Amino acid sequence: MRNISLLTQNIPNILIVDDIPDNLQILGGILDANGYRVREVPTGMLALQVAEKEKPDLILLDIMMPDMNGFEVCRLFKKNKNLNDVPIIFISALNDTNDIVTALKAGGVDYITKPFRHEEVRARVATHINLYRQRKELQLQSIELQKLNAEKDKFFTIIAHDLKSPFNSIVGFSNLLVEQVREKDYEGIEKYAGIILKSSDRALELLKNLMEWARSQTGRIEFNPEYFEMVVVINEIILSFDDIAGQKSIIINKALPPNAPVFADKAMISVVLRNLISNAIKFTMTGGTITISAQEKQGELTVTVSDTGVGISNDRIEKLFRIDESYSTAGTNNERGTGMGLILCKEFIETHGGKIWVESEKGKGSVFNFTVARSMQ
């Protein structure tokens, strides 16, 4: 039933308004034969009521009618904010230039004289329906573009805020170091240098992710899928985090099959894994556990990164992958996230046609999952 409904929605809906039944029958026959959905009404007032309920794609409107003439009906349509964009073609036996000009000034887009010529009616109707639908499509695209631009503006405001913090630390503690060295006062400089290093690492991580995301948005990052062994890539990335995990005495367990070949972009998948494992380490308490597993199901490989960390509240989960809601959160040792790593993960996984999602409970850890195809689709 749903498919039938969608097909019906795609059929142009035309409202014909004429007090003469023969004219309604003739026009209805012409348009029915072309596959349009036609609604016929005899008065202007009824036309307004019907149009409110079944917003048409086009109106064919007679001028000479008993309750109110077509010019008055057209003006009422144009005053109605829900109907003022519907194109109106006047139909009339009147062919005087003044009548045509009055019709166009009232808001009509075209004028067809009686008796009707079938090919002319079909051509004019088709033209204005196409123009109307193209205009509606452009309006929808414009609204969507405005929404995306607003989201990106907000996102870049968040990123600018996140960048400001580490750079303030870098500049502030660098100035302090310079002053102390100048005065040959070396007390605490190792601590200050450590803060500068951590702030620099955070700023660099943010900039790397931001550059990757910007490249993906502008189409400058190429999608190069190939066959590779996922287990090998996972093991390589886990090895790169050994020192960081060791500093918090975090154990990284693996529950991987002997092999798991996939067809994907190796660089993108590596970025996703690095972000998920890095986050798991940040938000897991000292002495905690992280488990990385993979399971094949229905031609897909589901990779899971679970932790025994602090967990995520329900209201936070809803915002994790949204560009307009991104913000960073401090880790268990006050490590700072970049606020955009998961957005990048979502971009890259969706580029593969896969899914990424999270299951979590505050105080009980988090489970991040993503899917990737095992073979070329």
Instruction: Output the DSSP codes for 86-138.
Output: S-EEEEES---HHHHHHHHHHT-SEEEESSP-HHHHHHHHHHHHHHHHHHHHH
Task: Tell me which residue of 137, 24, 7 sits closest to 91, measured CA to CA.
Answer: 24
Query: For the segment 309-367, what is each residue's pLDDT rounded down to a tens digit?
Result: 988 888 788 777 766 555 455 455 545 554 567 888 888 999 899 999 999 988 889 99
Domains belonging to the chain, first-starting first, are: 2-116 (3.40.50.2300), 148-221 (1.10.287.130), 222-377 (3.30.565.10)
Query: What pLDDT shows up at residue 217?
Result: 62
Phi, psi of 360 (to 5 degrees): -155, 160
CA distance 37 to 13: 5
Percent of the chain at pLDDT > 90 equals: 50
What number is the average pLDDT over the span 82-94?
93
Total Cβ atoms within 10 A of residue 55: 13
To the nearest 10°, the Cα dihedral for 53, 54, 59, 65?
A: -40
Query: What pLDDT shows up at residue 325?
Result: 53
Residue given tokens 């190792």 in the structure block:
190
Burial class (CB in 10 A: 0-12, 13-18, 19+), 295: middle
How far is residue 292 from each of residues 231, 266, 335, 360, 368, measured CA to CA in Å?
A: 10, 18, 21, 16, 10
- H or E element: which one contains 343? helix 341-351
CA distance 202 to 332: 15
Is the pLDDT at 126 greater than 60? The verdict is yes
As a whole number of Å, the end-to-end CA separation of the chain is 29
CA distance 33 to 343: 50
Query: What pLDDT shows up at residue 146?
Result: 80
Higher pLDDT, 34 or 78: 78
CA distance 208 to 205: 5
Q: Which of 4-18, 35-49, 171-185 is predicted with the least confidence, judged by mean pLDDT?
A: 4-18
CA distance 371 to 352: 9
How far is residue 97 from each of residues 94, 110, 111, 299, 337, measured CA to CA in Å?
A: 9, 13, 11, 69, 71
What number is the average pLDDT over the span 289-315?
91
Q: Tell me, yes or no, if the pTM score tops 0.85.
A: no
What number is the average pLDDT over the span 162-181?
82
Which pLDDT band holds residue 9 (cuts at 50, 70, 90)? Answer: low
Query: What pLDDT shows up at residue 338?
Result: 46
Cis peptide bond N-terminal to 115, omega within 30: yes
Beta bridge partners of 263: 227
Phi, psi of 304 (to 5 degrees): -125, 130
Is the pLDDT at 298 greater than 70? The verdict is yes
- How many residues appear in the chain? 377
Query: What pLDDT shows up at residue 377?
Result: 64
Residue 199, token pair as written in the block? 């702030």
Query: What pLDDT shows up at residue 61?
Result: 96
